Structure formats: C-alpha cells, structure tokens
C-alpha cells in the first residue's frame, strides 16, 4: 500500500482552523464548508522518490517540446493558444532550459500499487501553494511525520531573486480569499518588497501598463491565466505590452504552451512516431509515466475528455469501457466553449478511507525554480474539482 491515512479529526476543529489561519492559511473553512480535511495521508518513501524522478524527467521533456513547438503556428492553433499571443511567442525567447516556468505543479494519480501516471501540468497559475508550503509542513510536524515541502519557500525566494518582480497581481485582490492569500504568501516568501494589486485595476497607455493615476509596472507576477487574454476586454492590449516588452510577466509568456493540455497530445504523438526529438530514455519515460493523449476522440472507451485550458475540474468528462459518459463535472466552468478538447486514456484516482467517508486522492507535486519539491493532496470525487478538499501528504520515514 502506497498511501495510509492516519490521525482522527480534532474535536475542536475551530481551534485548529484558527491556528492554520494564523500561519496564513485562512480558507481551511470556506462559507461554513470544510475545505481542509483534518487527517494526514502518509506516502511510502520509495513511491515519493520515484515521483520526484518522474517529475524531473517529465519537466525536461515538456521543456524540450515547448522549444520544438515555438514558431510553429499550426501547432499553436492545435493547442488552442489565442492568436493574440502568437506574435509574442514567436518574437520573445523562452527562459533557460528548465525555466520556462518557475512556478508550476504537476498533477498525478498514484495508485496503491505504486503506478504513477501524469494527468496534467499547471505551469502558469497553480494554486494550492499555501496549502503545500505553509499548512502541510505544520500539519505533518503535528503528527511527527516528515514533510518534503520545507524547501518550497527557499525555492520561491531564489526564483523571484532572478525574476525580480516589483508587483504581484490577481483578480479581486483583497476580496478573493484564496488567490489573495496565495499572492500574499508568495510575496512574503520571496523576501522582496512588492506591491499587490487587482488585475482589474490595471490600465494600459500605448503599451505601458499602469496602476493608479500613473504608476508604471514593468515587472509583475500575475496569477492570471494567459489564455484569457484572447477573451477578456483589454487582453489584446495586455498581450501587446508583453510582446513589445513594455512589461515582463511571470510566469513568462511561453508558460502558456506548457499550460495547454494539448501539449501532452503533441508529446504522445511524437512518442508514437518514435520521433528523434526524444532520446530512447525519454521515450521510456513517456511510455511509463504519461497516458495516451489525442487531439481527436480516437479512444473508443475508458477515456477522459477535457478542455485544453480547463481549471478546477471544469469540462472534465469520464467515459466507461463502452464509451458511454459515466461522470461529468457539474460545478466548474466548462471552458471547452472557448478551447479545444483533448482525449486521454483514463487512469482513476486511488480511493482512500477517511473519517467522513471514502474519497479519491489526487497527488500534486510543485516544480519551483525548476525543482520538484512540494506535495499537495486533494481529496474528493472521481473528478478533482471545486468541491474537492485539501489533505496534507507526508512521507514515511526511512
């Protein structure tokens, strides 16, 4: 068994929630709903070590594929990347190898037999940072279990020491509890003096991005999905500002290629062709840790369909062996009205027994400053969406 659930929920949950809030995790309970599960999942060490190995290899693979895709506009279209971003993707250079994104998270399913399969990569605007970097180490310490997440703060500091943003932004900063708390934690861990702003307060004057009456922003971390620049009012002006380098945004623009779930279909297609882009070892990694993924519905049964830029489970549909729709996310926004879908072989999440019933576990692994480093547990239904709960994951001692 790879996972074990330990501990029992405290009889004084309110006190525990207050303790977490004092650390910066202020949404353990949201609108009287329990978002945080007061138990701990412990992962076998050998499985964690293999997960790190898989993430390191996959990160290099995805990075290499982005560089292969750069400049190929027919692939941009296949990946559902908005056309307003194409000129910038062509003209700007991606970061150094391994650093197209310095703030990302892989989502895996790891079953109780130890089989690891990648579900997706959020390489642009992952949330869950506070849960992983702040709450998880504290919760593991309470139970006497090791947390590998302690390095996350230092890796964020190193990343932003290089990128040096002066502003950090999200939609509804100061109002949206989770996104605002994420921004605040990242800024605190960066060690930098930064100004936090609401994306909706930004305005653009002949390519120059400003906030307030006339304050110019030239370097900014934005928890704002880049694909929405093709849809939102002002998105074209913002993409022009990035393209003309009036502003540098982090994650940088090419993170949108990593973000598209269609990139997995590109990688899988190249793998099936035996493409020389990948070494024999890389082909082995793809075959071991990735799932067959296609742009078209080529799988006849036991597959998943989801939007290339879906978030929080929105748009996800699970099909059974007969090719019949079995489960569909009914809560998240279905972004497939704007973006293409992919079709991926199904790999179900393991089901664990918690105090308040059985739940399926999604295992997230952050990649910060190019380094796989922090576990994030999400427990819920067969599809991990807005109604899923956070559960801390620790690692069994040697």
Task: List CB contacts of 372: < 8 A, sequence separation 6 or more.
Answer: 51, 52, 55, 56, 59, 106, 365, 366
Residue located via tokens 């090791």: 146
pLDDT tens-digit map of 269-284: 999 999 999 999 999 9
Low-confidence stretches of the chain (pLDDT < 50) are: none
Burial of 123 (0-12, 13-18, 19+ CB in 10 A): buried
**Separation between Cα atoms, residue 277 and residue 231, nearest integer Å:** 34
Each residue of 248-266: pLDDT tens digit?
999 999 999 999 999 999 9
Q: Are strands 167-170 and 3-6 parallel, antiparallel or unpaired?
A: unpaired
Q: pTM to 2 decimals?
A: 0.96
Which two tokens mark 141? 């310490």
CA distances in angstroms from 73 to 90, 214, 254, 320, 332, listed in the order given: 9, 36, 13, 35, 30
- In the chain the first and final C-alpha atoms are separated, in Å, by 16
> Are the CB atoms for 24 and 130 separated by under 8 Å?
yes
Residue 313: the pLDDT is 57
pLDDT at 386: 76
Specify the pLDDT at position 311: 67
CB 312 within 8 A of CB 386: yes
Q: Which two tokens stand for residue 195?
A: 């100004």
* Secondary structure (3-state) at 208: strand
Q: What is the pLDDT of residue 333?
A: 77
Q: Check if the beta carbon of residue 169 is closer than 8 Å to that of residue 183.
A: yes
Q: Cα(255)–Cα(104) distance, rounded to whole angstroms? A: 9
pLDDT attached to residue 315: 83
């Amino acid at each position: 068994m790879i996972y074990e659930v330990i501990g029992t929920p405290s009889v004084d949950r309110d006190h525990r929630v207050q303790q977490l809030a004092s650390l910066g995790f202020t949404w353990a309970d949201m609108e009287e709903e329990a978002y945080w599960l007061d138990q701990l999942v412990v992962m076998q060490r050998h499985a964690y070590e293999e997960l790190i190995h898989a993430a390191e290899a996959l990160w290099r693979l995805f990075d290499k594929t982005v560089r292969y895709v750069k400049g190929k506009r027919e692939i941009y279209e296949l990946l559902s990347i908005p056309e307003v971003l194409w000129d910038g993707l062509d003209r700007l250079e991606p970061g150094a190898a391994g650093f197209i994104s310095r703030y990302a998270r892989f989502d895996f399913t790891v079953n109780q037999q130890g089989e690891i399969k990648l579900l997706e990569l959020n390489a642009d605007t992952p949330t869950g940072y506070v849960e992983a970097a702040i709450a998880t180490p504290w919760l593991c310490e309470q139970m006497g279990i090791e947390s590998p997440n302690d390095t996350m703060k230092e890796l964020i500091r190193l990343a932003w020491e290089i990128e040096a943003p002066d502003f950090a932004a999200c939609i509804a900063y100061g109002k949206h509890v989770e996104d605002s708390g994420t921004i605040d934690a990242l800024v605190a861990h960066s060690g930098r003096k930064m100004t936090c702003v609401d994306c909706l307060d930004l305005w653009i004057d002949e390519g120059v991005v400003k906030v307030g009456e006339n304050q110019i922003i030239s370097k900014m971390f934005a928890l704002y999905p880049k694909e929405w620049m093709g849809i939102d009012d002002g998105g074209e002006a913002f993409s022009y500002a990035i393209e003309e380098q009036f502003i540098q945004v982090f994650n940088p623009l090419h993170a949108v290629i990593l973000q598209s779930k269609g990139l997995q279909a590109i990688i899988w297609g190249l793998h099936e062709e035996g493409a020389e882009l990948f070494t024999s070892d890389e082909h082995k990694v793809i075959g071991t840790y990735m799932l067959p993924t296609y742009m078209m519905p080529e799988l006849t049964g036991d597959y998943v369909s989801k939007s290339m830029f879906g978030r929080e489970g929105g748009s996800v549909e699970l099909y059974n062996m007969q090719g019949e729709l079995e489960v569909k996310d009914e809560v998240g926004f279905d972004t497939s009205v704007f973006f293409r879908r992919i079709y991926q072989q199904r790999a179900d999440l393991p089901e664990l027994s918690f105090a308040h019933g059985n739940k399926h576990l999604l295992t997230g692994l952050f990649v910060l400053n190019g380094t796989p480093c922090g576990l994030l547990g999400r427990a819920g239904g067969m599809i991990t969406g807005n109604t899923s709960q956070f559960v801390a994951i620790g690692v069994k001692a040697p």
